[in-house]
């Protein structure tokens, strides 16, 4: 089964801080995704990657950046956290097609 882990389940940061969210998968998947989830809005795609060092913008990339230096690891970076980035962040990975496996999520609060 797909195993996707995220570095933290809960995180509290202050406005203006730089925040790193890490995601690791153990299935040698090509594709990795970062989403944020807010009530009534479902999952919105922030960034995705189909290979090492490759990244594509999703629907809401503003205020975020990503890094994929190794195939198994996909990091989401908030350069300067703001209160409107308080949300649940979910990472996923998949092969070229087919089901995606999800991590447990990181609930980020920005004060």
- Contact residues: another protein, CB under 8 A: 4, 31, 33, 35, 40-45, 48-50, 54, 56, 58-59, 88, 90, 92, 94, 96-105, 107
Collect all residues with Cβ–Cβ distance below 8 Å to 100 and sequence separation of at least 6: 2, 31, 33, 92, 93, 94
Nearer to another protein, 48 or 74 (CB): 48
Nearer to another protein, 17 or 103 (CB): 103
57 beta partners: 47
44 beta partners: 36
Nearer to another protein, 16 or 104 (CB): 104
């Amino acid at each position: 089964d797909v195993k996707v882990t995220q570095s933290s389940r809960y995180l509290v940061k202050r406005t203006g801080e730089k925040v790193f969210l890490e995601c690791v998968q153990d299935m040698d998947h090509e594709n990795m995704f970062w989403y944020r989830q807010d009530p009534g809005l479902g999952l919105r795609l922030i960034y995705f990657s189909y290979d090492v060092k490759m990244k594509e913008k999703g629907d809401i990339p503003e205020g975020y950046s990503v890094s994929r230096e190794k195939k198994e690891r996909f990091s989401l970076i908030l350069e300067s956290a703001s209160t409107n980035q308080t949300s649940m962040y979910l990472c996923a990975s998949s092969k070229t097609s087919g089901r995606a496996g999800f991590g447990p999520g990181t609930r980020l609060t920005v004060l």
